[in-house]
Amino acid sequence: MLRRRPAAGPRAGDLFFSPLEHSRVLQVLHNPRYAGAYVYGRTRQRKGGRMAYRKLPREEWEVFFPDAHPGYISWEEFEANQAVLRDNANGYGLDRPKRPAREGSALLQGIVLCGICGRPMSVRYYVRKGHPVPDYVCQRKSIQAALGRPCQVVPGTGLDDAIGEVILEAVSPASLDVALQVFEEIRARKAEIDRIHRARVERAREEAEVARRQYLLVRPENRLVADALERQWNEKLALQNQAEDDYQKTKKDGAGLTAEDRERIHALTKNLPRVWKDARTSSRDKKRMLRLLVEDVTLTREASTIHIAIRWKGGATRSLVRPLPLGAPDLVRTPQPIVEVVRLLAASETDDGIARTLNARNLRSGRGNRFTPARVRFIRTAYGIESLWQRYRKEGWLTTAEAATLLGMHPQTVRKFAAEGLLQARTASDRKDLLFKPIIGPLPKTQPGKRFKDRHPESTSNARNEVQYEA
């Protein structure tokens, strides 16, 4: 907070506290009084139509008394602060309204406006994969009022390319023909307006000439009549001057385009895409070409889109909507169609089988790698997709140990029964673990004291016919 005592207004003379703003800080830093100096005549006023003030260098100050009173800082510190402020004034100098093109890669640098507050947006760069990537930031309000967050930050990835496409589309031969036809129509209308203004000037001149003759023909002794005629003459002269000034302001060249001019313009439209896309064309040259057509660009960021409003030099506007660029996690995230394929294959295949199927279809992960069982398992876990093992277990299928306990036999015997077809089982994991379908009806039995391979074929076939499974 800063103490203030205004000299005018409803609170003149009152002492109160107000939030410290950026402009007040600059005023304090530039004022020599805080360094103990008394100065007078730092600016020069110029009158004549419009009041103008010009800051003078120190050599031209009328009065300068250093160390006139105790200061908050020394004069050396004040000089050092002024040097730092001059170095930091590149973006706030007199050429700031012109917004010259810089060397950075941001195409909209200097002509981009915030769609929320209307202030100019600055450019902030960060490096991605060794290349500078721009972000358009509206931070003027946050600097002015010392707020923590900027008004909005618009990613520049893909934004400059969209603007470039609009520029190349605007100068295509087809659109240029339409523009030339409109130009000819406007030229014809301006010629008609010029004829009307010229007739108005001629009429004002004739009226002024008539008033002059009437004044010269009056007799000197008729002073009242002479004064009235003189006043009337002055009024007609004023109207004549006003009409001539209006005519000069609206006077334009009415000449149309020749065939040679049209051919040159069409040649430029054919060469522009080649020059624009050439790697040897610098970013500054592209910005200069852009400023020949575009007055400014307004950006508004929403939840998932960026609204772009382009204002051309002639006053026409065009609006675009572009999606927000993907963030770093989204750039390496597995595409959703592949996730759906994994979801579909997980109902009948293991992770290893899914990986082989995806690789056979030449599908790749978000990073462009081939699929492995581990990657498939990571995708299933991230998206909550059940594995083949989990699906069968939910349906009541038994593990080898559970089936052996139920049948009262050794797990190896259960696996042999599955190999012989007495029990229905299938591999449900990458470790080749078996799951057995639930059994109903008589259970198969082994013959004590005999090996499985030594059993009588008839008993094997009978046991196979007795086994029933759940549907």
Q: Give the global pTM.
A: 0.49
pLDDT in tens, 198-234: 888 888 889 888 888 888 888 877 888 888 888 888 8
- Tell which wins on pLDDT, 449 or 127: 127
Q: Measure CA 334 to chain center.
A: 25
Interior/surface letters 36-53, b for 16+ CB within 10 angstroms, e for the rest: bbebeebeeeeeeeeeee
- For residue 408, give every residue at least 6 positions away whose Cβ sits within 8 Å of its Cβ, in sequence order, or none: none
| Least confident interval from 209-223, 239-253, 449-463 | 449-463
pLDDT in tens, 327-359: 777 778 888 899 999 999 998 889 999 999 999
Ranges of each domain in the chain: 22-91, 101-152+282-325, 173-253, 330-385, 395-469
- For residue 109, give every residue at least 6 positions away whose Cβ sits within 8 Å of its Cβ, in sequence order, or none: 99, 101, 102, 123, 134, 287
122-to-158, 179, 354 alpha-carbon distances in Å: 17, 33, 49
